Amino acid sequence: MADEKLLPMSEGLVAFITEWKKKPGNLIMVLHKVQEEYGYIAGEVAIEVSRMLEVPLAKIYGVATFYHLFTLKKPGKNKIAVCMGTACYLKGAQDLLDELDTILSCKAGEKTADDMFSVAGVRCIGCCGLAPVMTINGKVFGNVKREQLPDLLAPFQNAK
Amino acid sequence: MAYKNFALVCAGTGCHSTDGQEIYDNLIASAEKHGVSGDVQVVKTGCFGFCEQGPIVKVLPEESFYVKVKATDAEEIIAEHIVKGRAVDRLLYKEPGSKTAGKIEDMGFYQKQLRIVLRNCGLINPENIEEYIAREGYQALGKVLTEMTPEDVINELKTSALRGRGGAGFPTWMKWNFTKQVDGVDKKFVVCNADEGDPGAYMDRSTLEGDPHSVIEAMAIAARTIGADQGYIYIRAEYPLAIERLEIAMKQAREFGLLGDGILGTDFNFDIEIRLGAGAFVCGEETALLASIEGERGIPRPRPPFPAVKGLWGRPTLINNVETLANIPMIILKGGEWFASIGTKDSKGTKVFALTGKINNSGLIEVPMGTTLREIIYDIGGGIPNGKKFKAVQSGGPSGGMLTAEHLDTPIDYAGLQALGSMMGSGGLIVMDEDDCIVDVVRFYLEFAVDESCGKCSPCRIGGRKLLNIVERMTAGTATEKDIQNIEDISDAMKKASLCGLGQTTPNPTLSLLRYFKDEMLAHVKDSTCPAGKCKDLVKYTIDAEKCIGCTLCARRCPVGCISGGKRELHVIDQDACIKCGECFTACKFDAVLKG
């Protein structure tokens, strides 16, 4: 492949990788940083990381696909996560996912056609006292009821 | 400057994410507005445990326990309580059935608790090392560095009979001793396992958020004892608040000379690095965890060699879980005998549980080993909501088993739980009521375990999938009796032949189903019915001709338009088109929609 500049990497990210390159076992920490910056592990960025860390691209793919938290697909503009821990499941988390599918036509693990939302069923986020819990762009909503979903989503839908 | 009052604001994840920060900011702003900033100190603390009632604000010295506080209530707390000295009655916690607020020590939720691990949670500001030091913090490390030999420390742990709190319950002193005894290596490591992946459990998160220094101090004690100078905390990336508090705590410890080179003026050097997990349950298994710290896929390897001999980068490594470590400073200060005086014959000390599910007082609790389930569920937990009947409690998460009403008086300890086919696990206690279908819950756990199997060994990879297929057939009403026989054979193979704890324990929930809920399971298999009405494929909604008045509400609510009937006419559900969402059942005001 030609040596052209791929996706622009911020100075912060380059500095982070340079710093961590000195430490053993750095790959997962670097991938976290990449995902923090882009929202996902983009193929072009993974190639760049592979060059900088001198780690085979196949290994990066192997690690990124092993862990649930890493995603290779670009998420929607607003990220909805429904906690699928046991307490939330017992208190109706599956109903929330079903209702989101009805409202947004978007199943868990997918994003809406207009890229506005992505929906995910996630591992326990540890707010079991508030079950069922969902987060929208990191903000936690507890004791969520199915009927509340349209109101919860409204501010994000209007922000087009 | 002496403060008259202290307002403690819970800043654990639960409360913090629902207005905790705004309450804190508003309290400070209101105090300034009323000119009482010098009278009241507003402090962010760790979790009070009573998450059901959060966000919580506690005002000292009156010990007023304000619950379900909103950001807009801050003004009233300052104006009434701090300025005028009158408690805000409408926000005070009142026991169910009582009209007046009692003292905190009389609250049912706290009465049977004994807090060793959570000793500082909800009392100190976790972001201020001086508050930890004021509560005897780092004194145990000082004692270990100046008065005790490594052998003394191990003997103290042996006397205490502390066992690992992460799941398996291995004696802590033996782990320390094995790692200490390895000679002739250039480096050893101490690792704190904070990869709390059990869904429905948050003991370790709360400990790290509420009292991070207790874990840092214990890691330093461990390092001194086994001869290590480097530590790692492996923590779930899903816990941003705990990570932030740990980073602050480590920075402050370095500034105070409690981490780094020449700790407390001795020749002892030790520092800690944080490594993030990335959502893999199997990484709670120690060899998988080590692989993950090394930046690899988190796949377990056969033991021996144990990590105590060959661990991180091939060096001897001591791995302890958060709760185990948080006990250590207290054992050093108060002595192993004190610790061993608490608990039962084979299980000493206390255990922290995350009490969740169908329970009135859901939250984080710490009780002496040997406390019965009845005390936990009814005295502390306040029983089951809405007058429903208790059905089961799952301990040990996806690796554990279920306990039923007949086990309510069993004292909880390692041996007791194991005898009942469950396990202590990390401390999740999930309560289920009569509305929950155990077959469906088992399916949920199996789905989790299959998703989390790393795929390395076939008993776990294939066995888990096979079990899931069987239980899925049960929830769909297509399972046969041959399937039941197969469960036992598959489970047996998985328990014997899986490489790590994940595969060995995956069959546990299914075996609980066989052991304690056979009737419910047989109803699914033989009669294709779900007694709890949870399994959608087995549920049928019909309309009672006697009760239906033809109000059309159900027909209007039905998302797929499968209910026919005009005004004041009997309505009928088209069974072929029905998606069993239950909207009609919830909507009907005349109990005319029947589920069964």
Map out the domains of chain B with their CATH numbers: 5-103 (3.40.30.10), 129-339 (3.40.50.11540), 350-433 (3.10.20.600), 438-526 (1.20.1440.230), 540-595 (3.30.70.20)
pLDDT band at B596 (very low <50, low <70, confident <90, very high): confident
* Residue B63 · residue B29 · CB < 8 Å: no
A89 and A153: one domain? yes
ipTM higher than the 0.95 cut = no
pLDDT band at B179 (very low <50, low <70, confident <90, very high): very high
Helices (H), A22-67: 27-38, 43-53, 57-66
The shortest C-alpha distance from B347 to chain A (Å) reads 26
Contact B278 A31 (CB under 8 A): yes
* Dist. CA B415–CA B525, nearest whole Å: 33
**Per-window interface: A 66-85 vs B, CB < 8 A:** 66-70, 84-85
**CATH number of the domain that residue A85 is part of:** 3.40.30.10
- Rounded alpha-carbon distances, angstroms, from residue A108 to A94, A112, A121, A122, B547: 10, 11, 6, 9, 38
Residue B527 CA from chain centroid, whole number: 37
Residue B299 DSSP class: -
How many residues are present in chain A?
Answer: 160
Cα angle vertex B58, ends B54, B62, to 5°? 145
The larger pLDDT score, comparing residue A139 to residue B282, is at B282
Q: What is the structure's pLDDT at B523? A: 95
Q: Is the pLDDT of residue A4 over 80?
A: no
A88 and A146: one domain? yes
Cβ neighbours of B275 in A, within 8 Å: 25, 28-29
Chain B, nearest residue to A55 by Cα: B295
A60 and A85: one domain? no
Contact A27 B295 (CB under 8 A): yes
Q: What is the structure's pLDDT at A123? A: 87
Q: What is the structure's pLDDT at B408? A: 95
**Per-window interface: A 116-145 vs B, CB < 8 A:** 122-131, 139-140, 142
Cβ neighbours of A63 in B, within 8 Å: 295-297
A91 and A148: one domain? yes
Q: What is the structure's pLDDT at B104? A: 83
A42 and A114: one domain? no
A100 and A51: one domain? no
Contacts of B15 (CB under 8 A, 6+ apart): B9, B47, B51, B54, B55, B56
Q: Is the pLDDT of residue B114 over 70?
A: yes
A82 and A50: one domain? no
Q: What is the structure's pLDDT at A139? A: 85
pLDDT tens by residue, B430-482: 999 999 999 999 999 999 999 999 999 999 999 999 999 999 999 999 999 99
Q: What is the structure's pLDDT at B97? A: 83
Token pair of B280 as six digits: 């893999």
**A153 domain-assigned:** yes
Contacts of B418 (CB under 8 A, 6+ apart): none
A59 and A15: one domain? yes
Q: What is the structure's pLDDT at A3? A: 45
**A55 domain-assigned:** yes
Q: Is the pLDDT of residue B545 over 80?
A: yes
Cβ neighbours of B357 in A, within 8 Å: 86-87, 90-91, 131
Q: What is the structure's pLDDT at B583? A: 84
Q: With the CA atoms of A15, A16, A22 and A24 taken in that order, what torsion angle do they form, in degrees rounded to the nearest 10?
A: -160
**A135 domain-assigned:** yes
Poorest-confidence range of A133-147, B8-22, B507-521, B540-554?
B8-22
Which of A25, A90, A126 minimises the CB distance to B357? A90
CA-closest candidate to residue B401, choices B419, B383, B381, B379: B419
φ, ψ of residue B405 in degrees (nearest 5): -55, -30
Token pair of B23 as six digits: 């309450």
* Dist. CA B93–CA B165, nearest whole Å: 32
**A4 domain-assigned:** no
A91 and A31: one domain? no
The shortest C-alpha distance from B75 to chain A (Å) reads 24
- Best interface-test mutation with B: which of A32, A128, A139 has the largest number of B CBs within 10 A? A128
Phi-psi region of A126 (alpha: psi -120 to 50; beta: other; left: phi over 0): left
Domain count, chain A: 2
Chain B, nearest residue to A28 by Cα: B295
pLDDT band at B1 (very low <50, low <70, confident <90, very high): low
Poorest-confidence range of A15-19, B50-54, B90-94, B299-303?
B50-54
* Dist. CA B559–CA B306, nearest whole Å: 57
CA-closest candidate to residue B524, choices B437, B416, B397: B437
- Best interface-test mutation with A: which of B56, B109, B202, B426 has the largest number of A CBs within 10 A? B202
pLDDT tens by residue, A82-137: 999 999 999 999 999 999 999 999 999 999 999 999 999 998 887 888 889 999 99
pLDDT band at A140 (very low <50, low <70, confident <90, very high): confident
Q: What is the structure's pLDDT at A76? A: 92
Cβ neighbours of B54 in A, within 8 Å: 129-130
Q: Is the pLDDT of residue A7 over 70?
A: no
The shortest C-alpha distance from A132 to chain B (Å) reads 10
* Dist. CA B175–CA B177, nearest whole Å: 5
A43 and A93: one domain? no
A103 and A39: one domain? no
3 state DSSP class of B275: strand
**A123 domain-assigned:** yes
CA-closest candidate to residue B584, choices B568, B562, B566: B562
CA-closest candidate to residue B545, choices B596, B593, B595: B593
Contact B237 A32 (CB under 8 A): yes
pLDDT tens by residue, B186-227: 999 999 999 998 888 899 999 999 999 999 999 999 999 999
Domain range for A43 is 11-66
**A3 domain-assigned:** no
- Rounded alpha-carbon distances, angstroms, from residue B497 to B381, B468, B553: 39, 18, 56
How many residues are present in chain B?
Answer: 596
Chain A, nearest residue to B436 by Cα: A90
**A73 domain-assigned:** no
Q: Is the pLDDT of residue A159 over 80?
A: no
Chain B, nearest residue to A87 by Cα: B357
**A2 domain-assigned:** no
- Best interface-test mutation with A: which of B356, B360, B438, B450 has the largest number of A CBs within 10 A? B356
Q: Strand runs (DSSP E) across chain A, as ranges?
A: 78-83, 110-111, 117-122, 134-136, 139-141
Averaged pLDDT of chain B = 94
Cβ-in-10-Å burial (0-12, 13-18, 19+) of B229 comes to: middle
Token pair of B530 as six digits: 């779900």
Residue B575 CA from chain centroid, whole number: 41
pLDDT tens by residue, B302-360: 999 999 999 999 999 999 999 999 999 999 999 999 999 999 999 999 999 999 999 99
Contact B279 A131 (CB under 8 A): no
pLDDT tens by residue, B253-276: 999 999 999 999 999 999 999 999
pLDDT tens by residue, B360-394: 999 999 999 999 999 999 999 999 999 999 999 99
End-to-end CA distance of chain A: 38
Poorest-confidence range of B46-55, B67-76, B118-127, B407-416?
B46-55
User: In this structure, which amino acid lies at residue B44?
Assistant: K
A62 and A123: one domain? no
